[in-house]
Every structure is written in C-alpha cells, then in structure tokens.
A and B are shown apart, each in its own frame.
Chain A
Amino acid sequence: MSTIDTGERRRSGDARPVIPELIDEATIQSIAEDAWTALVGEDELLLPMPGELPDDVLSSWVDVVGPWTGTVVLTTGRQTAAELTRALLWDSAPELLDHEDVADAFGEIANVVGGNVKAALPGPSALSLPEVGAAPAVRNSADVCRVEVLWRGEPLTISVQGALPPLPVSQH
C-alpha cells in the first residue's frame, strides 16, 4: 500500500519561531538609534513616532539566513533617502547625487542595522549584501516586527520580516 506524502503532518510538527518571539520593537529602535548616532551624526535623533510615508518611497534591506530567516528592511521617502546620503557623505557628497550614491549610503545603513539585528537573534546566521529598491513583500503578517520613527520630521520604517509563508494550520 502506498501513501501519498503531502508533507502536512511533517510541517504541522515543525514549530519555527516568528520574529516577535525573538526580538522586540525597543531593541530594534535601540539598534537603529546607535546606527544613526555613529553614521549620520551625534545629534541626529530618531523619534519613535509614526508618520505617513510619501507615495515615492525607497527601501534598503539585507537578508538574514539562519534559525530565523528573513529580511531587515528600511523604508523612507526617496527625498529623505537622498538627505540621509548627504548626511553620511558629508563634505564628500557630490552636488548632484545619483542613484548609486543613494543606494550605497542607504544600503550601508541597512547593512549596519541588519547586522546588529542578526546578532540579537539565535545564530549562527549569514547576512547578505545590501540591496536597494522596492521592499520585499511581507510573506507572513505574524512574522513581522515593525518600528516607525521620524528623522528630521520625515517618516522612516524598519521592518524585520520573515521570508517564509505561514505554516499550514493543523486540521487535527
């Protein structure tokens, strides 16, 4: 007699952690504040307040692959990303920023925030090189920890989100 393995029994027994069980908003906020102070400037504050993102946004992110697999995504308005780039490059910022400048600087912030988020999670884990563009989609709304801040009055979000869809719910 043959049995078709649908994988359902196996999957329903594989508990895997979701990000709110591993890290909280306060830790992410603290990591981001440290990154801002060191990279953007000592007087640069991230206020933990929600704000409405503009239509024209840009995201930068790094992937974390390990016991928890997902992505650390920073999203802000394109203009704010350019302003961040000027703050990072300071006196070496060109008069006209191109996309490569913004991708480099905004990506490096995601790299630093993501690297420190990774360190707060169970390991060992690997970290990808940063990417910049349209944010990866949220695969599982229960596997997201999101922080909303204002930098120089402009909204910015930091989303730590799982890469895997929800596990099927057991029918037993």
Chain B
Amino acid sequence: MRALVIDDSRAMRRIVSSTLEKLGFEVNQAGHGREGLDVLDGGWVPDLVTVDWNMPVMDGLQFVSAVRANPAWRAMTIMMVTSESEHTQIVRALAAGAHEYVIKPFTADALRDKLALLGLLPQEVAL
C-alpha cells in the first residue's frame, strides 16, 4: 500500500512517514496541499493520504476539497493529522471529505489503531 504524507514540518513528516513505513507502507511526502496535488497529478496515487491542516500555500482543508472534487481520486482514504482539535474543526474536515481525524500529539499505536479501523493495515506489525 502507498501513503502520501503532507505536512509543512519536515520533522512531522519524518515522524508520520517513519510510523507508516514500519507498518509496511510505501511513503511519499509533500510540504503543503499544492505539492500534494502535484504528486497526485503526476500519477502517484496512494491508498492513504495523511494531511496537516495549517500549512502555507494550500491548507489541508483546501486539499481535501480539491481531492474530493476529482472522481478519479474517490477511492483514496484521507486522514487529517493536525493540532487543530476544536470540535467544529473536526466536523468541518469530515464534512469536506476526510475519513478520519488524528490530533497531534499522537502515538504510533494510536495511528496504527486508526488505520486498522479504516481497514488500511498492510500487515500486522508491532510498533
């Protein structure tokens, strides 16, 4: 399975990517929503996208809306991974088309549990 990790923080991309790689994902990265769309437009279509909310150029909510507007990317699972933890923000993200919402800080186990709920664990791996 493939995962695209979108976050403007290189440190956070490293943390999320490392966890996903341990779970068996092939991982690609982007620094903001526009870069993420460029990856998808280039033909590298993942099974899972994790996307931050607050980013320069194009934020996570705009990215989710853009992906959901393209029928070719309908099968892609989108998980918001963000420090935006207000209830209203979570509702907005899910209404825009995100499947799941993970609040930073999170543990590797929490991320794995969310992926298991989504049926997106390539293999059973202990972190």
User: Which of A9-17, A119-127, A158-166 lines the interface with chain B?
Assistant: A119-127
Nearest neighbor of B10 in chain A, beta-carbon distance: A104
A53 part of interface (Cβ distance < 8 Å): no
Provide the bound-state CA to CA distance between A38 and B102, in Å: 13
Task: Please give the distance in Å from B55's CB to the nearest CB on chain A.
Answer: 8
Which one of B10, B56, B83, B106 lies within 8 Å of A114 (CB-CB)?
B83
Contact with A along B16-47 (1 / 0, CB 8 A): 00100000000000000000000000000000
Answer whether A92 and B14 are a contact pair too, CB < 8 Å, given A34-B105, A104-B9, A129-B54: yes
A116 part of interface (Cβ distance < 8 Å): yes
Nearest neighbor of B106 in chain A, beta-carbon distance: A38
Name the interface residues of B59-115: CB closer than 8 Å to any CB of A.
82-86, 88, 103-107
- In this complex, how many residues of chain A approach chain B with their Cβ under 8 Å: the count is 28
Residues of B within 8 A of A35 (CB): 104-105
Which one of A111, A116, A119, A124 lies within 8 Å of B54 (CB-CB)?
A111
A70 part of interface (Cβ distance < 8 Å): no
Instruction: List the count of A-B residue pairs having beta carbons below 8 Å apart.
Output: 68
B121 part of interface (Cβ distance < 8 Å): no
User: Which of A19-27, A82-90, A136-144, A148-156 lines the interface with chain B?
Assistant: A82-90
Provide the bound-state CA to CA distance between A144 and B14, in Å: 33
Contact with B along A34-71 (1 / 0, CB 8 A): 11011100000000000000000000000000000000
Answer whether A127 and B83 are a contact pair too, CB < 8 Å, given A39-B105, A104-B9, A112-B104: yes
B12 part of interface (Cβ distance < 8 Å): yes
B11 part of interface (Cβ distance < 8 Å): yes
Provide the bound-state CA to CA distance between A116 and B86, in Å: 9
Which residues of B line the A interface, CB within 8 A? 8-12, 14-15, 18, 54-56, 82-86, 88, 103-107
**20 A–B contact pairs at CB < 8 A?**
A34-B105, A35-B105, A37-B105, A38-B105, A88-B11, A89-B11, A90-B14, A105-B10, A107-B9, A108-B12, A112-B104, A114-B83, A115-B83, A116-B85, A116-B103, A124-B88, A127-B54, A127-B83, A128-B54, A129-B56
Question: 4 smallest A-B Cβ distances: which pairs?
Answer: A115-B83, A38-B105, A108-B9, A119-B85
